Amino acid sequence: MKKYILALLVSLMMVAGISYSAVPSKIVGLSGECDTTNAGCIPIPLILTTLCTASCPIRSSFSYTSSSRFWGASSGAVGACQTSIDGGITWGGCTTQAFSSGSGGESYAGASDGSVIAIGSITGTCTIKRSIDNAANWTTVFTDANACFLPGQPGQNLWCLSDSRCEYQMNNGGTARVYRSSDNGANWVQGTTGTGGNCTIVGTQWDGSAGIMPSENTGCGGGNIAKTWVAAADVWTDSVTWTGAQGDCWTPVVYNSTGRVICNAGAALTMYSSAGASVAVLILPTSLVGLDSQGPAWGWATNTLYIAAQNVTTGIDVHVSRDNLVSFTKLGTFTGGGAGPRGGNMFAANGCIYVTTGLTPMFGKVC
């Protein structure tokens, strides 16, 4: 009887023109494109703001426990720990450094329990340290006799997710390794290991299910890809060798739950599969002459892709496609970014996308 009455009420509501939904829908779009009162809205970030142009990090990460706290690695061959407590506007050295002078800190990330993870090499030994008091004190939680990274080579990436998982993906001197933690960096194991004859990875993206790790050619003279490593269901595997004809391929991106690489050859940006097959030519609304695929990219929701690319005047332009790569809109230019976003990164937090450029540090956001 109760089911019959409920069905009758729903039928009457539909006749009267009243919609019925057990779970309110979430619509991805611009503010104003959806009914924020009844349906809810997940707005697509569109407005650029430069937050920092001096003493900014070359790679950065956010804190899961504070919307205004960020962590980063300083510029230079040996990156020091940096932090910001005002949303990335000002940056300073951490209370204490995880690595002393003569050793190198490569990446820093905030874990979901509020701890901070630091990756670095001490006299050739890969060392992972952890702080539970915002970098006031550090504890060594993992070491490996192999070096983590080549000093001065950007692209070795550390990620911590909201489900307590952390991973560090690297390729040093032709050997790719993945270090993995399932408890916010308290304990680590070495995951995938393999050789590919590559020089060093040029970036990584990983969202916990899909991932992409492209690797530079053996001569290290350019960005031509020799191989990629691809993550699916939390397992990294070595791909086939690329031909190298794709051009400079510095930009990995998880797009629509699939690992892709963006390359630049002949003043054209092209997205490739992990095996080097062309997926789509990316037509940006500015001249491609002088554009470089060294900049980071980020996939937002479904069919939405952001690209930060160096333009002909060494500024950092941000472009977005909202129609599955059919067209792009230029959102604006970050000031102070200088030449070369290579080695920087993007991440999503606070409803925004944050952008760090590498060779000339700059930190900004798209909201």
pLDDT score of 226: 66
70 pLDDT band (50/70/90 cuts)? very high
Angle at 314 between CA 308 and CA 318, to 5 degrees: 20
Average pLDDT over residues 181-189: 97
Q: What is the mean pLDDT of residues 130-153?
A: 86
Cα 171 to its chain centre, rounded Å, is 17
Q: Is residue 108 exposed (0-12), middle (13-18) or buried (19+ Cβ within 10 Å)? A: buried
pLDDT mean over 73-93: 87
Of 5-9, 19-23, 200-204, 263-267, the range with the lowest mean pLDDT is 19-23
Give yes or no for a contact between 130 and 81, defined as CB atoms under 8 angstroms apart: no
pTM, 2 dp: 0.85
Q: Where are the alpha helices (DSSP H) in the chain?
A: 2-15
Report which residue type is found at 161.
L
Instruction: Write the single-letter amino acid at 352.
Output: C
Residue 165: its pLDDT value, please?
A: 96
**Given its phi and psi angles, is residue 338 left (phi above 0), alpha (psi -120 to 50 degrees) or beta?**
left
If pLDDT is split at 50, 70 and 90, which confidence band does 214 have? confident
Helix (H) or strand (E) holding 75: none
pLDDT given for residue 243 in this prediction: 72
Q: Please, which pLDDT band fits residue 145 given cuts at 50, 70 and 90?
A: confident
Domain spanning 44-366, CATH architecture? 7 Propeller (2.130)
For the chain, which residues make up each domain, given as ranges?
1-43, 44-366
Average pLDDT for 107-114: 95
Asked if residue 287 has pLDDT above 50, the reply is yes
What percent of the chain has pLDDT above 70?
72
CA–CA distance from 1 to each of 12, 116, 179 (Å)?
17, 57, 58
Long-range CB contacts for residues 315-321, cutoff 8 Å, separation at least 24: 316/341, 316/355, 316/357, 316/362, 317/284, 317/286, 318/48, 318/355, 318/366, 319/284, 319/285, 319/286, 320/44, 320/46, 321/282
3-class secondary-structure state, position 295: coil
Res. 295: pLDDT tops 80:
no
Please name which of 84, 134, 148 lies closest in space to residue 349, comparing C-alpha atoms. Answer: 84
What tokens were used for 12?
Answer: 């009457």
